[in-house]
């Protein structure tokens, strides 16, 4: 069993992951409307990944005899100034999620709750990977710039990175 404080904190994380999933799905739709098919596919996969993260915590809370709460869905924004600004927002959101996971880890040490601490180690590593991926994307977007063909090259680069991520995930499943 986990403490009421920990259950509340984990339910807040569930809500944050659900919001990320909705936001990234909205971004996917916007990209699709802008003709950025590679970016749309990438953001769609990110949305699905965030939903899986949410469900993993949801199941853990219930498994520990606490009550996982289904989060309300707040309407995410639907318009973005540019694909560059959109990815800046994604990177900032991933940093926010990382900070939230680190607060959960701190709570585990404070209580102490070693079982939840072990559970969260997967998220610590996952967030390290997510931030590194978004940082790489931001670096590539900056290199490409904002010239006339920039959107085309950004879309192709994101599509390539998405393909590499899918291949990497498939290789992990095979292990």
Is there a contact between 165 and 133 (Cβ–Cβ < 8 Å)? yes
pLDDT of residue 30: 98
The pLDDT assigned to 71 comes to 92
Q: Grade residue 58 by pLDDT with cuts at 50, 70 and 90.
A: very high
pLDDT of residue 166: 84
Contact 62, 11 (CB under 8 A): no
Average pLDDT over residues 107-133: 96
- Evaluate if residue 17 carries a pLDDT over 80: yes
pLDDT score recorded for residue 130: 94
Domain ranges of the chain: 4-174
The arithmetic mean of pLDDT across residues 47-53, rounded, is: 97
Average pLDDT over all residues of the chain: 94
Question: How many C-beta neighbours within 10 Å does residue 148 have?
Answer: 7
pLDDT digits (tens, 9 = 90+) for 128-159: 999 999 999 999 999 998 877 998 889 998 99
Q: 120, 112, 17, 106: which is closest to 60 by C-alpha?
A: 120
Instruction: Tell me the backbone φ, ψ of residue 34, rounded to 5 degrees.
Output: -90, 0
Looking at residue 173, its pLDDT comes to 75
Structure tokens at 172: 């992990």
Residue 42 pLDDT exceeds 90 = yes
Q: Which CATH superfamily is domain 4-174 in?
A: Ferritin, core subunit, four-helix bundle (1.20.1260.10)
Task: Report pTM.
Answer: 0.91
């Amino acid at each position: 069993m986990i403490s009421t404080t920990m259950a509340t904190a984990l339910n807040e994380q569930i809500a944050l992951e659900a919001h990320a999933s909705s936001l990234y799905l909205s971004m996917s739709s916007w990209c699709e409307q802008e003709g950025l098919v590679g970016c749309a596919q990438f953001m769609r996969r990110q949305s699905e990944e965030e939903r899986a993260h949410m469900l993993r915590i949801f199941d853990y809370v219930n498994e520990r005899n606490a009550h996982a709460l289904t989060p309300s869905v707040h309407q995410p924004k639907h318009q973005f100034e540019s694909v560059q600004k959109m990815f800046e927002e994604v990177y900032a959101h991933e940093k926010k999620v990382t900070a939230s996971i680190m607060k959960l880890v701190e709570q585990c040490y404070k209580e102490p709750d070693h079982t939840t601490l072990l559970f969260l180690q997967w998220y610590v590593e996952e967030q390290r990977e997510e931030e590194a991926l978004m940082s790489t994307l931001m670096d590539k977007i900056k290199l490409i710039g904002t010239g006339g063909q920039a959107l085309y090259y950004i879309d192709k680069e994101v599509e390539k990175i998405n393909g590499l991520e899918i291949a990497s995930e498939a290789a992990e499943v095979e292990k």
